Amino acid sequence: MTGSTKDKKEQGFFRKIFSLISTTVKFLRSAINLIVLLFIISIIASLFAGNVKPLPEQAFLRLMPSGILVEQLTYTDPLSQIIGQGAQRPAETLVSDITDALQNAKDDPRITGLILELDFLAGGGISKLQTIGAAISDFKSSGKPVIAIGNNFTQEQYFLASFADEIHLNPMGTIVLNGYGNYHSFFKDAFDNLKINFHVFRVGKYKDAIEPFVRNDMSTASKAQASLWLNELWQAYSSGVENNRQLPTGSIDNYVNNMSQNLNLASGNGAHLALQHGLVDHLSPLPAVRKRLASMAGQNEKKDDYLHVGMHEYLFHQNLQLSETPSKDKIALIVAKGTIYDGEQPEGDIGSKSFSNLIAKVRENKDVRALVLRIDSPGGSAFASEVIRREIEQIQDSGIPVVVSMGSLAASGGYWVAAGADQIWALPTTITGSIGVFGVVPTFENTLATLGIYNDGVGTSPIADIYHLDRPMSPQAKQLIQLSVNNIYQQFLDLVANGRNSTPAKIHEIAQGRVWTGRKAKELGLVDELGGLDDAIAAAATLAALDDYELIDIKPTLNFQQQLLKQLSRGVQKATQNLGLKSVQSPLLSPALSQYAKQLLTQSYLGEKAPGHLYLQCMQCRVD
């Protein structure tokens, strides 16, 4: 065999190998494309077929809130939603979804009762729970039964369960009530060990958001003010449960304060303890619960569950119904939820520019006669808060009344934004006030010195190095920042006094960073009336002299691609379940733990989005 013939055979062999590899790759690519195509077809089918099956003629409405109760969902990229869909439950539930479903179901003859399954609810605050509780009570007025079931009940889950006619607890379960607390991590020694110098500037004896930077514990003043509003919130919780369950006054305090003794008397059985204290009506394993619900609601076609319709499915059908002819006169509703930052921010936070764009939509709509601003915010950047307040002021200057409805929290910068409104409404358990200002500037000269790094140079003025965090802060620089803090605090007092028909001196007496409940804030004149969002909307209609109006939500505008992806994402979860698939993602943190982590990291994260280092932020307003 010649060398030439041998080479040709080797080339032919390798050519066949590469051809086989190429064919295999093409086959795999085609197979993958086919799988993707089938998946997309399944999604589209779920959008246009699976979701529009008729509702049962009679069924229970099932509420299964998951994650944190919120006024506005945190923005998630629709493509990420599609990728992450599957068995994973939502990390947030809209309060308005729950209340809308209950309001519609109350007089809907197809809905014969309500089932509360609360195992996946992570929390949301007493104010939001009260709002939902009021909607449950209104639903009950129709005479339809309300049943709550749970393997266990956390404190916030149980508050909603207490509105039910019957509460079923798993015999292996328990009810965990532990009261309210306000706890923080303190970093002084850690910063000292790292040799980081935190330069803190503030106005207000009670503006204790800076304490974690300079102390290892909570100050006496901070403990005193926190105790006042925490006790008021706990009183609202305990009295609400006692009223719902018709328990003697003090029953909940006895259950919590003497937990170890009470549990010992129940032989360590938490379920029996809850039954003995009247917190539940029945200890029922899952088969018994299903049997009870089936006897009330009827059985499904498979005879394996009771007849029910989920909240989102029910709302979907309600939205399909033809609405009444819309009124020409509109009341605009804008939700301001989250920390206030400069610039553009997605939903779930408040950006000065992005929020201004929403206000612009109100100004451009000639049919809008009033604006309701729903605030659920601890504050944030002083500059951004003022930008937003001025935008709201322009709305008022154009003759459109502005009514603020406070959610769970409208403090510090959140109150700055609200202060000039024509009316301010708050819930009795809203946390508000915190009228004060602070600034934080860390410098790292000592930290760097331990590494042998030093900074030196010359400047044309004593403050030329004011923005160099690797140098000590000069006395003049400290004075300049403190004067700026003082100035912003004075502006805060002036705008509150102007909006509340008071004087800066009188506002100063109740300010200085003090935190108040909505009930106390009304007594002090910081809010006008106590009530929920519906009350604020009605007040806006009165101010605008409207008998007939349409409420419109003002939201960020999505482009075509975002709208398409968002629409597709709604059907993915059902499609993946039909295909037997599960999410490729699994959350690293539970919703409650994620919320805590976010609050913890905010103390160091805020400066990245508010570079002025001057904040109207109520970091101490957290309830545990």
Which residue among the candidates 412, 434, 520, 569 is catalytic per the annotation? 412
CB-based contact 519:428 (threshold 8 Å)? yes
Distance CA 507, CA 320 (A): 50
The verdict on whether 207 is a catalytic residue reads yes
Distance CA 564, CA 521 (A): 45
Strands 330-337 and 550-553 come out as parallel
Provide the residue type at 478 as one letter.
K
Find how far residue 467's CA is from the centre of its chain: 35
Distance CA 531, CA 526 (A): 14
The beta-carbon contacts of 449-452 under 8 Å, at least 24 apart in sequence, are 449/195, 450/195
Q: How many CB atoms lie within 10 A of CB 345?
A: 21
* Structure letter (DSSP) for residue 210: G
Cα R_g (the chain), whole angstroms? 29
Which residue among the candidates 128, 144, 207, 337 is catalytic per the annotation? 207
Q: Quick one: angle between helices 352-364 and 382-397, nearest 10?
A: 10
Find residue 551's DSSP bridge partners.
Answer: 331
Distance CA 81, CA 94 (A): 17
Find how far residue 220's CA is from the centre of its chain: 30
Distance CA 523, CA 519 (A): 7
The verdict on whether 142 is a catalytic residue reads no
* Structure letter (DSSP) for residue 464: T
**Nearest 10 degrees: CA dihedral of 223, 228, 231, 235?**
-170
Residues annotated catalytic, as ranges: 207, 412
